[in-house]
């Protein structure tokens, strides 16, 4: 199996961090979709590996330019936060 499936197969109670997920290869996203949809994935050797007890954390810098470039003195902090949140969520889609 692959590194991810082998690690989770051996230690199903794991926390896995994927930093800057937007830089991952497109094939990785197909595996993520299977994990997120089914809670399991089949490795290259045909073994089904369960991810139901695994915590997956993904970070991204998508939309970070909106946070860095927001310097509007006329907006309240709440309005600024909501504006940034909307723009980041748009970029993430």
Check if the beta carbon of residue 51 is closer than 8 Å to that of residue 5: no
Regarding predicted confidence, which is higher, 76 or 93?
93
Task: Pull the structure tokens for residue 83.
Answer: 């504006």
Residue 46 has pLDDT above 70, yes or no: yes
Regarding predicted confidence, which is higher, 50 or 2?
50
Torsion of CA 31, 33, 35, 40, to 10 degrees: -80
pTM: 0.66
**Beta-carbon contacts of residue 87 (< 8 Å; ≥ 6 apart):** 63, 66
pLDDT, residue 29, reads: 83
CA distance linking residue 77 with residue 55, whole number of Å? 32
User: Sign of dihedral through CA atoms 12, 44, 1, 25?
Assistant: negative
Per-residue pLDDT band at 38 (split at 50, 70, 90): very high
Residue 42 has pLDDT above 80, yes or no: yes
């Amino acid at each position: 199996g692959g590194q991810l499936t082998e690690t989770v197969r051996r230690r199903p109670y794991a926390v896995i961090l994927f930093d800057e997920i937007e830089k991952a290869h497109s094939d990785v996203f197909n595996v993520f979709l299977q994990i997120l949809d089914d809670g399991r994935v089949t490795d290259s050797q045909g073994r089904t590996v369960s991810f139901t007890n695994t915590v997956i954390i993904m970070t991204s810098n998508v939309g970070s330019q909106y946070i860095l470039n927001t310097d509007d003195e006329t907006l309240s902090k709440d309005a600024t936060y909501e504006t940034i949140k909307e723009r980041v969520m748009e970029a993430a889609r």
